[in-house]
Amino acid sequence: MNILIVEDNDAAASTISSILKLSYHDAKITICRTGYEALESINSDKADLVMLDLGLPDMNGLKVLDEIRPITGAPIIVVTACEEEENVLKALEQGADEYIIKPFRHLEFLARVKKALSKNISPNTAIIKFGDLTIDCAKHELTFRNDRVLLTRVETMIMSLLLQRGGQIVDYRDISDTLWGHAYPGSDESIRVYVSRLRIKMEKNLKTGGIIKNEAGIGYRLSFAE
């Protein structure tokens, strides 16, 4: 497994690397201390996990996230001292899978990393179709007629769940269970952020306005009705 750590603080990078090595002994860990180094690394090497700090010396970590999210389906975990709610929401909107605030407890850190890595789609649901929509879960690719768009891991999980239900309502609890194994305070709001970003991405790349319908206070469903 290839792990990319984007962190300019040597002590923090060493701590994160050491914790990950406890569970992933054979992992190849690359440490980048600037955003530009991270962009070069993600373009040249396949990462299976990205740990991203927001306070980088050369560019905002959110900018780095925005640049690397479209080119990798790997889990991206923001690890930062910045705990402002606005930054948490921005990171989730831009495709982060987790947001861990420093200082963190080591066991909780590992548990959240393992959770992010464990969300694999079973082979028998690798390709799911509903109407003119098709999702390839292994490639994190959504197709509508002749247009395609790359999704994040979380977006793939949400969209595959909606497609499997074939137009039936998927409630917030079902989505929470799929993403995290349980609901937590604020999980509904996180889901709304993910779905909002997914809608924008679909509208921009697939010209699919209004396919994801909101059932107020309940959840979401797919509909091709005009």
What confidence tens digit (pLDDT) does each residue in 132-156 have? Answer: 899 998 888 999 988 999 988 788 8
**CATH number for region 2-118:** 3.40.50.2300
How far apart are the C-alpha atoms of 134 and 200, rounded to whole Å?
18
Least confident of 33-37, 87-91, 202-206: 87-91
pLDDT bin (cut points 50, 70, 90) of residue 226 is: low
Of residues 117, 106, 55, the one with CA closest to residue 84: 55
Beta bridge pairs of residue 80: 101
Ranges of each domain in the chain = 2-118, 123-222
pLDDT at 1: 86
**CATH number for region 123-222:** 1.10.10.10
Give, in order, the Cα–Cα distances in Å from 204 to each of 52, 106, 143, 176, 210: 26, 40, 13, 26, 12
Q: pTM for this one?
A: 0.61
What confidence tens digit (pLDDT) does each residue in 32-81 have? Answer: 999 999 999 988 878 889 999 999 999 999 999 988 877 777 889 999 99
Mean pLDDT to the nearest integer, 175-193: 80
